[in-house]
A and B are shown apart, each in its own frame.
Chain A
Amino acid sequence: MELKVTNLSCNRGGRAVLGGLSFSLAAGQVMLLRGPNGVGKSTLLRALAGLVPCTGQIALDARQLGAEDWADQIAYAGHLDAIKPQLSLAENLEFWAGAYGGNAQKALVAFDLMPLANRLAGACSAGQKRRLGLARLALSARTLWLLDEPSTALDSAATALLAAQIIAHSQAGGMALIATHTDLPLAADTLTLSAPTQPEDDPFLDGAFS
């Protein structure tokens, strides 16, 4: 499996956030996304998940972004943990296991959540909720992990658990693209984003400033 991104551009609210971005990710490769706030790291991850419209050629082997089965290869964990505070941690994860397939028990163990399994998610700390949100990744085998600031609110032990999961994922041939500002304890390549320099192609502005 290989992810190839060629000339990806993305507009948000009439402003070019990403322009002409190209990179590739080989099987087993982990890449950290770096760059200042607002440069488009989250937008890139959402675009690759298919949640934000973008232009360019994005392909996972022969599978193009926007294809019917694109989402089957994606595991996305955004800023929000997708957790219901009225349900216990085990109930939350069992629901996602029902939707995605996989074993909720194993995912709880992977992120050391078994001691809290029967506690209501609303009574958990931010770091515990984040661990529950990340435990969803361990449910089903998806090739491409898109993680948006996954280590926010995690303590060092939980960050190590997360890193171990990512390493195990990459050793199994999976890929991960991780937007982060902190250093994760794992070997990874880095892709630094900078604001697009090319002018926005607005036909009404053509030649207006030259």
Chain B
Amino acid sequence: MRALLRRDLRLALRTGGGAGLGLAFFLIVVMLIPFGIGPDTALLARVAPGVLWVAALLACLLSLDRLFQADAEDGSLDILALSPLPLEGVVLIKALAHWLTTGLPLVLAAPVLAIALNLPESGYLWLIASLAAGTPALSALGAFAASLTVGLRRGGLLLSLLVLPLYIPTLIFGARCASLAANGNDALPAFLILAGLSLGTLAVTPFAAAAALRSQLR
């Protein structure tokens, strides 16, 4: 397991279009918003949580389509399926590696970008907390969708169509949590629902994804 995590992290850092791409995309999308909306600070402050969350979803998508496809193309997936590692564990580790290289940098970059969007001070802590609790679910759901499209030659677009609707609950409660806090309200209930959704997703998706991978191998 540790060997797989180490390999996936190493690959993400060495491959062009790996770890840095999602973060750079996130930065650019968020920075485009003030240009599009104009210098209305009150309006920016109101949309900031939603914009940051939507941009984070899209940035997560970028590296998902290669999650299993690269391994399927070079035969590694066959060999992994025959290895003593359970396929469910393989899925979980690969989702974890995806989160460490894509989700975690987004969590760390979000408060810096929130300044550009004039997010009220009270919202920062809950923005970071909601992203930290929600982005693991994005990686896990993404791993499930990636396992469904692993056999398709250009599955990236289909993967986006499959996975974005699945992201809706996480998006609703994540953005709600940050915006409630920004308006000075109690964000804890929204955060708890978000955390519950995340934990449920993390518990279920490895099994679903492993089942999908087994049927794809045939």
Q: Which residues of A contact B (CB under 8 A)?
A: 49-53, 71-72, 74, 76, 78-84, 86-87, 91, 94-101, 136
Assess the B4–A95 pair: CB atoms within 8 A. Answer: yes
Judged by a CB distance under 8 angstroms, whether B76 is at the interface is yes
Are A99 and B80 in contact, CB atoms less than 8 angstroms apart? yes
Known: A76-B78, A99-B85, A136-B79. A87 touches B10 (CB 8 A): yes
Q: Which residues of B contact A (CB under 8 A)?
A: 2-4, 6-7, 10-11, 14-15, 73-76, 78-85, 217-218
Q: Are A96's CB and B84's CB within 8 A?
A: no
Closest chain-A Cβ to B2's Cβ sits at a distance in Å of 7
**Interface pair B6/A80, CB less than 8 Å apart:** no
Identify which of A71, A79, A84, A96 contacts B11 (C-beta below 8 A).
A84
Smallest CB-CB separation from A83: which chain B residue?
A: B74
Question: A71 with B74: in contact, given A87-B7, A98-B2 (CB under 8 Å)?
Answer: no
Query: Which of B14, B15, B74, B81 touches A81 (beta carbons < 8 Å)?
Result: B74
Q: Once bound together, how far apart are the Cα atoms of A99 and B83, in whole Å? A: 6
* A84 x B76 contact (CB < 8 A): yes
With most chain A CB atoms within 10 A of its CB, the pick from B3, B14, B79, B81 is B79
Query: Which of A52, A71, A81, A101 meets B218, CB within 8 Å?
Result: A52
A80 to B73 alpha-carbon distance, docked (Å): 8
Considering the complex, give the chain B residue whose CB is closest to the CB of A77: B79
Give the shortest distance, in Å, between B106 (CB) and chain A (any CB). 23
- Identify whether the interface residues of B are mostly helix, strand, loop, or mixed: helix
Which 10 A/B pairs are nearest by Cβ-Cβ distance? A98-B3, A80-B75, A82-B75, A82-B76, A86-B14, A95-B7, A99-B83, A82-B79, A71-B82, A95-B3
Asked if residues A81 and B11 are in contact (CB atoms below 8 Å), the reply is no
Residue from B73, B74, B78, B83 in contact with A100 in the complex, judged by beta carbons closer than 8 Å: B83
CB of A73 to closest CB in B, whole Å: 10
Across-interface contacts of B6 in A (CB, < 8 A): 95, 98
CB distance from A96 to the nearest CB of B (A): 7
Task: Determine if A51 and B78 form an interchain contact, defined as CB atoms under 8 angstroms apart.
Answer: yes
For the A-B complex with A72-B84, A76-B82, A99-B4 known, give 10 more contacts whose Cβ atoms are closer than 8 Å: A51-B82, A53-B218, A71-B83, A81-B75, A82-B76, A84-B74, A94-B3, A95-B7, A98-B4, A99-B3
Q: Are the C-beta atoms of A74 and B3 separated by less than 8 Å?
A: no
In the complex, what residues of A have CB within 8 A of residue B73's CB?
80
Chain B residues near A99 (CB, 8 Å)? Answer: 3-4, 80, 83-85
Docked CA distance A100–B84 (Å): 6
